[in-house]
Structure 1
């Protein structure tokens, strides 16, 4: 899983001397969770998530920054980790270990229990007060000490802001409060006289020379000046590049003149005049000899003072948050499964299967609650179907009104947007449709028809893959011979050698049992009554370069089921070659030659028989969707919509609209006539028992004492890149914690829709669509039929 480059314990030191990550053998990887147990999430940023962690061997508490490989190239993450390991200063976070995991680079650091400086500023803003200047002398001195040390090591941080200064206690004004600088993702080595050109960091903290694309380490001094101004006023000194270049900085009346001079010495536009960190340490204000009695400065809102502390907080995209939480959950689940399998082997897999069945039985026989990693707790209860009419607006779904009017037809995928999306993820669409390659239109049709999906591979930087779900059968006869699909003969005379396990693409509405049965009956013409399938399903992901779409890799997500074919009936044994070599099976215009082969024959033909462990973590996640604010603005302008109406008279702002699109709550489309629509789609899942009762969510509790007592059918938003059945499976897996393979989905999906005008999206029509899918499961917990057993 992950390579450790650290001093995190004797075990790691024995296995891995301190060597660069590139030299760590792939087979000798060590997982973070082999040494640390994850705790609560402490914060999130543009590049990763920070979580509390505890050393399993010593019990010591740390923090771990898990840097997302999707957002940052691996080389840059390695550079950050190696740099942090070389730094050693009281006001710089200390690194205790670096792990290279499948989807994250995990940097174990000192844990600071007081949060960050922006959090302290937010607390003050709630009281409508700002910090008194001399109450922060000890804090700002430590900030300057951190920069003096960094610049003395020829390092420029490039992202100095309140989020990146951590506190050991919540009280920033406590004279004993210790702070340390963190997040070195933007840091670079910069020797005396050298200049950098690429813009980096948070725009609100940029100095004039960053805008000029030529700067030195004094950009850190300017950014510290911006932060100090914010701590004293709750506001940014500059609103944009024009302000940065010409606006004169003046602090409020309540700020001491000596402190004002200190701040202005950092906000000098001329680098030669701007103080260095060493000069700042000599500034008389930092000696703290003069101190006022007050520790809080009240703001008079009638004078137009307004706190902007929320503007100092870095906002993280909702989709990125969800992706990281999903990957963290997989990491922990994989670690647990790996540990159990290592300790108990095959017996544990049997126990896991029994446990899955027991969970399903418990869900069917009792009220139950499920808590997710975000702290949201949902309570479920079985109620009569009639409750739907009492508690939800399902009249459109019950009365059949939708069948009496033509449904709104969603247009095909927007090809320019699809091309832009692929290009942003390093897929050159200009190669599509050239030579033997398929066109962009063909890929769009695949995605639209659910023949394949576009997903993000979180193990690499901005990597999009084409995903195809398949089910493979690994069947043995009573001689322990393996069944293979050896050859295909088509009606036009073409013959193709295959020599592979029998299998088929898994349809989105199917569970693994349904696909397996279809393979047995349609592909193999094999009587299911003589087949016994195991409960354990092994998942393997195999990546291949696709000649159909150059540069776009295809990942086959293979669910492999083991089973045995056995019969004492002479006719059946003869028909299916149980005492000979095999048989032939016909499927539409293809005749298959099926063969029973021995293990020796399989090895001689170089067949890959062993598949990955069922506990292997997948790095495939939902792809990013939606339009950023600027992209949305231009999209609306192309639709000839007056964007100035947004944010006026009850309309959503462009930022709010963009956030909805990125979350997948709505999508924006245009029909064949060029008219623009906003579409909201919801999938409602009616989980049904044999007695007709439906599973309802009866309460939801969340962080901050949030409670929602509304009784409703479990539901989820349908993203533009999802199929309704995939959403239903997501509800089953995420909300109920049930394996979707234990549930059968009804293919008869009810659709209801309403089209109306709305003031929320000026210039656009609004279409609301609701899908209802019924799900059934065997209440005994046995999700696969045990055919052929006594």
Structure 2
């Protein structure tokens, strides 16, 4: 299955992830960005939040329409922003858990490889999640623009190193992503010879201080076997390692490792049976690393520390990457009241507001 194609959903994948919180996000296969219900598009951000000037659309995330805008306030150091617009009412009632998680978890992650959230506002019709804007598109689009629809090993390593350093920071903060995929990896520029990668969309993330994950969420072709099969509980950080392996494979070969549909797909995943395209030559080092990550049994899958110390990963790793993580982890974040304020705002957004209702802001 190439990364530019979309597999048909199997019988085990039937149903929309929006049916209930335990449903697999199955209508979103491998390529489309999100499949949330079509949000009502606001007429203009100027209606309620005049300091944001809309300049275009960026597409859709997991939970809503994303707009490009300018923050015209003189205190704004970087005026261009992305704003995810989430319609109040039924949409928030159905997805409030995921909306809260995305805002609370992502606001606690301050790292160059993670999109920074700036603030959240609530108008009478929408919640707006304001974040830094990445102008280079996503990694899936970046790869599919290449003539061979894949990356050379050196470039794949550059992106993979950034992703692993960022994920190491997330896991150290106690947050597992649970929806790592090419479409959720944004780039600061599509034209730079060395684009900076940034993770986004933490709606399905899980914090280790909460209960163990029980729900099958994520995107099918990136989903670890234990998630796909609906294990009663599983380690979300270990499931992230499987997704790392899928991403690295897709970057190198322009295809996803496991073939087939329905039972044949499940059988290939459970056996860890993947074929290497014969026309692509890669090093034995990266093949060894893939063999450590794409292990169906979670208890036998490698830990993130094994990836970090692997010779293939360490080659040409920018100096000071993990020292930077240590410094960032040592910083105290002034976010003690954010979970309470975000929970309160999202709870209020379960109903539509009155046109006279003032806009509420939560600075992150």
TM-score range, shorter chain: 0.5 to 0.7
Residue of structure 2 in register with 1:152 after alignment: 172
- The residue number in structure 1 matching 2:55 is 39
How far is 1:100 from its partner?
2.2
The partner residue of 2:153 within 130, 133, 142 is 133
Deviation at 1:103, TM superposition (A): 3.5
What secondary structure sits across from 1:279 in the alignment? Answer: helix
1:264 matches 2:287: no
Determine which of 19, 44, 49 is the counterpart of 2:65.
49
Please tell me whether the aligned partners of residues 70 and 80 of structure 2 are also in contact (alpha carbons under 8 angstroms).
yes
Distance 1:67 1:276, change over 3 A: farther
Query: 1:150 and 1:280 mapped to 2: Cα distance?
Result: 15
**Within 2, Cα distance between the matches of 1:242 and 1:219?**
18
- After TM superposition, give the deviation of residue 132 of structure 1 in Å: 1.1
Contact 1:31/1:99, CA 8 A, preserved across alignment: no
Q: Which residue of 2 aligns with 1:183?
A: 201
Equivalent residue number for residue 235 of structure 1: 255
2:123 to 97, 101, 108: 101
- 1:288 aligns to what? 315
Checking the alignment, whether the CA contact within 8 Å between 2:61 and 2:201 is kept in structure 1 is no
TM-score (norm 1): 0.32
Closer, same or farther: CA 61–225 of 1 in aligned 2, 3 Å: same
Distance 1:265 1:171, change over 3 A: farther
Structure with bigger gyration radius = 1
Where does structure 1 differ by over 6 angstroms across 4 or more consecutive aligned residues?
none
Post-superposition shift, 1:75?
Answer: 4.3
Measured against aligned partners, the alpha-carbon deviations of 1:642-669 in whole angstroms (never above 9, x if no partner) come to xxxxxxxxxxxxxxxxxxxxxxxxxxxx
Which gives a bigger RCO, structure 1 or 2 (Cα 8 Å, sep 6+)?
Answer: 2
Q: Alpha-carbon deviation of 1:73?
A: 2.6
Task: Pick closer, same or farther for the CA change 1:103–1:215 going to 2, 3 Å.
Answer: farther
Residue equivalent to 1:222: 242
Go from structure 1 to structure 2 and tell me whether the alpha carbon gap of 1:95 and 1:289 turns closer, same or farther (over 3 Å shift).
closer
CA shift at 1:161, angstroms?
0.3
Q: Measure how far apart 1:460 and its partner are.
A: 4.3
Contact kept, 8 Å, 2:272 with 2:296, in 1: the verdict is no
5 Å-filtered alignment, 1:484-523, equals none
Match runs of 1:597-608 below 5 Å: none
Indicate how the Cα distance of structure 1 residues 134 and 242 shifts in structure 2: closer, same or farther if over 3 A, else same. same
Cα deviation, residue 171, structure 1: 4.3
Q: TM-score, normalised by structure 2?
A: 0.66
Deviation of the 1:144 alpha carbon: 0.5
The answer to whether the Cα contact below 8 Å between 1:91 and 1:180 also exists between their aligned partners in 2 is yes
The offset of 1:78, in angstroms, is: 2.6
Q: 2: distance between equivalents of 1:234 and 1:68? A: 36
2: CA distance, partners of 1:137 / 1:171 = 18
Instruction: Tell me, in whole angstroms, the C-alpha distance in 2 between the residues paired with 1:64 and 1:224.
Output: 27
Say whether 1:248 aligns with 2:273.
yes
Aligned partner of 2:84 among 65, 71, 74: 65
Aligned length: 266
Aligned with 2:145: secondary structure?
A: helix
Shifted more, 244-253 versus 43-52: the winner is 244-253
- The aligned counterpart of 1:81 is 103
Instruction: Note the residue ranges of structure 1 that are not aligned, 5 or more in a row.
Output: 1-29, 291-458, 464-540, 543-611, 617-790
Q: Say if 1:75 and 1:247 are closer, same or farther in 2 by CA, change over 3 A.
A: closer
